[in-house]
Amino acid sequence: MALLIKKGRVIDPASGTDDVLDILIEDGKIKDLQKKITRPKTAGVEQIDAAGLIVVPGLIDMHTHLREPGYEYKETIQTGSWAAAAGGFTTIVCMANTNPVNDNASVTNFILDKAVKEACVNVLPVGSITKELKGELLTEIGELKEAGIVAVSDDGVTVKSAEVMRRGLEYARSFSVPVICHCEESDLAAGGVMNEGVTATYLGMRGIPPLAEEIIIEREIALSAWTGQPVHIAHVSTAGSVRIIREAKARGIMVTAETAPHYFSLTEDAVVSFKTDTKVNPPLRSREDMAAVKAGLQDGTLDVIASDHAPHSTLEKDVEFDNAAFGMIGLETSLPLALALVHDGTLTLSQMVEKYTLNPAKILQIDKGRLCPGADADITLIDIDSEFTVDRDSFRSKSRNCPFHGWHLKGRAVYTIVSGTVAFSLKN
């Protein structure tokens, strides 16, 4: 079983490669990477003509919600993996807020077993920091790591007690487990349904102040500085957050951060329609915040683009805005939206690729995100000029809560190759 990718423009930020190369894959690994590789005479070698396409390390989405176990009517590990493959992702990281919560090795084992059997991409689970996400008792992070988690996070809520968070960071450090922080001061955010700003003032909606995010980011950075445990800040959405992280990095604190495509593609103005697909947490922010997020991506303050793919069914979304669930799906629109930043000159192609490959791999300490002989043959082929209209009814995801339906976008994944196998190709 071998695959030869011919004449693609290979971009690998890890090695600084940007060149037209051929890639030969054998037994799920990259065998060779050369200017010109002749097709081996052995039988069963398939060939992909990648002329005009961008060939990059398989994309990693380090922040998704696959909803299994517990909410299979919204998404399953299988359908989530299909959506991932269709979006160009070869590896996805799934958060712990399932039901039951991934706070013990048996849930981790369940997810990994399911993934082996049903998923078409690599699925890496995140365990919770505290049992049942209650912010009280630490989970068995050692055993969770053995079972296969790549990080811990109480994503969905902030660990309310600074003391518990301190101990969580310290304890995770004993096992070198990365910690991902959901930053939201719950009292300041209580009852809020959108950004506290002009639009919320117009609409009479309860706002979530940017402050609710920033105050906890400040706390996590202080805790990181004190404990020496690196922290990764999830879904950064405000100008203040970007500034705080930038300053912390300058001070040498081991903080990394991600943002999601909706924070650089949409603003609070989208909520004027009262469409519940625009309800997300953290909320869509102001134009100034969006500009700051873009600047943070540009100068490297924000290391990673992750979708925060949060599937919800019509049961949670076809209701009054106040009563609707937070979250939007993103696996199938993430890359095209990020490519818009390349098209508008915010990011170079290599910078963008880095935020989907090398950077998340480094943060999660996984051996992914690079193209070199011997590496896993996780590869994404992108047509950056292919124009299309987002049609959520064609999505592989089980859910439809996408605010980008009907958007005209440019650039998308055309092949997603996982361990040498084509998990998705646009033609089929």
Partner 1 sequence: MPLQHKDLISIRDLSPDEITLILDTAVSMKEVSTRDIKKVPTLRGKTVINLFFEPSTRTRTSFEIAGKRLSADVVNISASTSSVVKGETLEDTGRNLQAMNPDLLVMRHANPGAPKMLADLLPTPVLNAGDGAHEHPTQALLDAFTIRERKEQLQGLTVTIVGDITHSRVARSNIYLLQKMGARVIVSGPRTMVPLFIEELGVSFIPDIREAVKEADVIMMLRIQMERQHESLFPSIREYARFFGLNRNVLQKAKRDVLIMHPGPVNRGVEISPDILNTPYTIILDQVTNGVAVRMALMYLYIGR
Active site residues: 308
Residue from 19, 247, 288, 322 in contact with partner 1 (CB under 8 A): 322
Enumerate the β-bridge partners of residue 422.
417
| Minimum CB distance to partner 1 smaller for 233 or for 328 | 328
| Minimum CB distance to partner 1 smaller for 141 or for 193 | 193
Q: Is 201 in the site for partner 1 (CB under 8 A)?
A: yes
Least CB distance to partner 1 at residue 74 (A): 17
Pick the piece of the chain touching partner 1 (CB under 8 A) from 11-19, 137-145, 148-156, 201-209: 201-209
Least CB distance to partner 1 at residue 194 (A): 10
Pick the piece of the chain touching partner 1 (CB under 8 A) from 73-81, 121-129, 204-212, 351-359: 204-212
Q: Is 318 in the site for partner 1 (CB under 8 A)?
A: yes
| Minimum CB distance to partner 1 smaller for 203 or for 254 | 203
Least CB distance to partner 1 at residue 206 (A): 8
Pick the piece of the chain touching partner 1 (CB under 8 A) from 11-19, 224-232, 321-329, 343-351: 321-329
Q: Is 203 in the site for partner 1 (CB under 8 A)?
A: yes
Of residues 83, 48, 58, the one with CA closest to residue 380: 58
Least CB distance to partner 1 at residue 316 (A): 11
Pick the piece of the chain touching partner 1 (CB under 8 A) from 32-40, 197-205, 339-347, 384-392: 197-205
Q: Is 198 in the site for partner 1 (CB under 8 A)?
A: yes
| Minimum CB distance to partner 1 smaller for 288 or for 387 | 288
| Minimum CB distance to partner 1 smaller for 84 or for 200 | 200
Q: Is 116 in the site for partner 1 (CB under 8 A)?
A: no
Please give the order of strands across the beta sheet that includes 179-181: 59-64, 89-94, 122-127, 151-153, 179-181, 231-233, 255-259, 304-305
Least CB distance to partner 1 at residue 285 (A): 13
Residue from 320, 393, 427, 428 in contact with partner 1 (CB under 8 A): 320
Q: Is 106 in the site for partner 1 (CB under 8 A)?
A: no
What count of other Cβ atoms lies within 10 Å of the Cβ of residue 12?
A: 24
| Minimum CB distance to partner 1 smaller for 151 or for 290 | 290
Do residues 355 and 342 lie in contact, with contact meaning Cβ atoms separated by under 8 Å? no
Q: What part of residues 271-290 is at the interface with partner 1 (CB under 8 A)? A: 274
Least CB distance to partner 1 at residue 231 (A): 30
Pick the piece of the chain touching partner 1 (CB under 8 A) from 4-12, 198-206, 215-223, 350-358: 198-206
| Minimum CB distance to partner 1 smaller for 320 or for 393 | 320
Least CB distance to partner 1 at residue 243 (A): 19
Q: Is 326 in the site for partner 1 (CB under 8 A)?
A: no
Q: Which residues bind partner 1 (CB under 8 A)?
A: 196-198, 200-206, 274, 318-323
